Amino acid sequence: MDPTPTILRHFASLKYAPPKGRFTVLAAFYLVDAHQDVEDQRVMVISMATGTKCLATKNYSKIGDVVHDFHAEVLARRGAVRWLLQEMTRESEWLVAHANDEWTLREGLTLHMYISELPCGEASTRATALLQTLANPQMAALKSQATADPQNISQGLARGREGYELLNRVRTKPGRADAPVTNAMSCSDKIALWCGVGIQGALPVSLGLRPIYINSITIGSVHGVEALQGAEKLLLEDCNRAFRGRLGDIALGDGYSIYRPEVTFTPSIFEYGRVTAPERSSCNEAMCWIANEATVEVLNNGIRRGTLSKNRALPALRPRVCKASLYVIYQRALAWRTGSDRMSGAITYHAAKHGGAGADSETGCDPAQAIRGQALRLRAYHTAKERLRGNNGPLHGWVRCTGDYETFVL
């Protein structure tokens, strides 16, 4: 079943369009319910986003109030994390809480992803080469040779589109040659990481959620694009290498393993995509929609559109999917789980993601158990992540943010 018509209808129902003369990328996460007979009702979209930009590292926030990377895939994934955390604050129709304190998706549900074009980085290596060569063969040759940094490449890392024809590289996100440097990794690399550790991130893991893997990825803008005609097989190979092949059979430790999503190309066209009007330029603003939320949220430079910079940290004006907003919901879920209304506000976001922010003695549950459970789960999660991104891992070269971007408290 191709879910794209359902996804595109859902997008149309949100009544959002990028500004005139701009193209964007659409991405969505959705659940498929194997128990539903009616095809239309089998697909439940949990998050949807558009976006093509990210911030330069110098503009990152230290208090978690700005979204640093707002490529559609990353924003949709943050939306899915928010949705999961929200579902963990109540009796959920979609998640099941087990007696051992763990949560999983309800039986019969699987997670899937849609992207309106090939994601940046490894999965679009040869598509980029084909499109560049067509647009400007001389420039393509120049850019390919001139900006490759042998030292970086030997470490597995390439910056943006440098040496874009080289395979098996982790890459930072592409940008204009004169743009300030970003440390945001490409969407292909982030998706590859999710194939090992799940899409849920550390906070839901700390609360007991088992990793949730992407079962399939449906990608648009390959079929029907003239410059890519006849190259479908090659491009599918790139996707399979990016999300599956390059990860190998690495052992990730307790509870984690490489999950290889099925990749397919869809002929359905996203009307605001780059292929429908190549003369348009990419859209600065980004949009994010999450099931459970009535409205879409539009972002510009990582903050809500229309918000004055001096007001951007106010809880009511922060983006729904920034670190600080997700941390608030995490604390709500923690309180719901432990039966305590006491917030662990003094614990930094980083500590909650790495050490476990447990219950206290007022809750009636065994705090030592709760904390130990959280710590063990987080240790397993970070071990798996490290095996992927560490020195001998398939994603080694991954740029770590060394700045102090997670040590805020609420």
- Cβ closer to Zn ion: 71 or 377? 71
Q: How far is the CB of 188 from Zn ion (least distance, A)?
A: 8
How many angstroms separate the CA atoms of 398 and 381, rounded?
Answer: 17
Adjacent-strand bridge partners of 50: 26, 287
35-43, 67-75, 158-166, 354-362 -> range binding Zn ion (CB under 5 A): 67-75
Pinpoint the alpha helices (H) of 14-115. 39-42, 72-87
- Cβ closer to Zn ion: 71 or 387? 71
Q: Which residue has tokens 């099931």?
A: 291
Host H or E run for residue 38: none
The three-state secondary structure class of 131 is helix
16-24, 65-73, 159-167, 242-250 -> range binding Zn ion (CB under 5 A): 65-73
The three-state secondary structure class of 31 is strand
DSSP state of 365: S
Q: How far is the CB of 81 from Zn ion (least distance, A)?
A: 17
Closest to 192 measured CA to CA, from 152, 132, 239, 254: 239
- Cβ closer to Zn ion: 87 or 238? 238
- Cβ closer to Zn ion: 26 or 187? 187
Q: How far is the CB of 299 from Zn ion (least distance, A)?
A: 15
101-109, 153-161, 185-193, 202-210 -> range binding Zn ion (CB under 5 A): 185-193
- Cβ closer to Zn ion: 120 or 192? 120
- 375 and 350 Cβ atoms separated by less than 8 Å: no
- Cβ closer to Zn ion: 208 or 261? 261
Q: Does 207 bind Zn ion (CB under 5 A)?
A: no
- Cβ closer to Zn ion: 46 or 54? 54
Of the residues 10, 53, 68, 71, which one makes contact with Zn ion according to CB under 5 A: 71
Q: Does 77 bind Zn ion (CB under 5 A)?
A: no
- 25 and 72 Cβ atoms separated by less than 8 Å: yes
Number of residues that bind Zn ion (CB under 5 A): 3
2-10, 181-189, 308-316, 393-401 -> range binding Zn ion (CB under 5 A): 181-189
Q: How far is the CB of 39 from Zn ion (least distance, A)?
A: 30
Q: How far is the CB of 124 from Zn ion (least distance, A)?
A: 9
How many CB atoms sit inside 10 A of residue 265's CB? 19
How many CB atoms sit inside 10 A of residue 93's CB? 9
Site residues (CB under 5 A) for Zn ion, limited to 380-409: none
Q: How far is the CB of 8 from Zn ion (least distance, A)?
A: 20
DSSP string covering 235-298, please? HHHHHHHHHTGGGTT----TT------EEEE-----TTSGGG-TTSEE-SEEEEEETT-SS-EE
- Cβ closer to Zn ion: 145 or 282? 282
The residue number whose beta carbon is nearest to Zn ion equals 187
- Cβ closer to Zn ion: 80 or 334? 80
Q: How far is the CB of 115 from Zn ion (least distance, A)?
A: 9
Of the residues 8, 187, 222, 399, which one makes contact with Zn ion according to CB under 5 A: 187
| Position 22, amino acid | R
Q: Which residue has tokens 């040590």?
A: 407
DSSP state of 114: E
- 324 and 314 Cβ atoms separated by less than 8 Å: no
How many angstroms separate the CA atoms of 60 and 182, rounded?
Answer: 10
9-17, 68-76, 225-233, 378-386 -> range binding Zn ion (CB under 5 A): 68-76
Q: How far is the CB of 72 from Zn ion (least distance, A)?
A: 7
Q: Does 120 bind Zn ion (CB under 5 A)?
A: yes
- 158 and 143 Cβ atoms separated by less than 8 Å: no
Q: How far is the CB of 186 from Zn ion (least distance, A)?
A: 6
- Cβ closer to Zn ion: 119 or 196? 119
From residue 141, alpha-carbon distances to 134, 170, 235 in Å are: 11, 21, 20
Residues at the site binding Zn ion, with contacts judged by CB under 5 A: 71, 120, 187
